[in-house]
């Protein structure tokens, strides 16, 4: 009976750790997706700039697009 309890406790701890890592990894993804939907920014459209332009030019354009969408 004691081993079943220990297995259950260990399983619960493992689930807690996995959930914490999942929140850590998925938090930024959910945040960016939500902001882009609210602001009306198409993330796929922004990624095209990184293929056609240099990194810094595309980053400047991305920041300007986000600032315009937020009304700054």
Distance CA 50, CA 20 (A): 32
pLDDT at 39: 66
- Spell out the domain ranges in the chain: 1-38, 40-72
pLDDT at 65: 77
Distance CA 39, CA 46 (A): 13
Tens digit of each residue's pLDDT, the chain (72 residues) = 678 999 999 999 999 999 888 888 887 777 777 777 766 666 666 677 777 887 888 888 878 877 877 676
């Amino acid at each position: 009976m004691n081993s079943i309890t220990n297995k259950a406790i260990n399983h619960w701890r493992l689930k807690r750790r996995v959930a914490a890592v999942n929140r850590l990894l998925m938090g930024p993804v959910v945040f960016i997706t939500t902001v882009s939907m609210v602001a009306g920014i198409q993330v796929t459209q922004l990624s095209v700039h990184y293929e056609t332009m240099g990194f810094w030019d595309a980053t400047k354009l991305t920041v300007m697009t986000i600032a315009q969408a937020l009304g700054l």
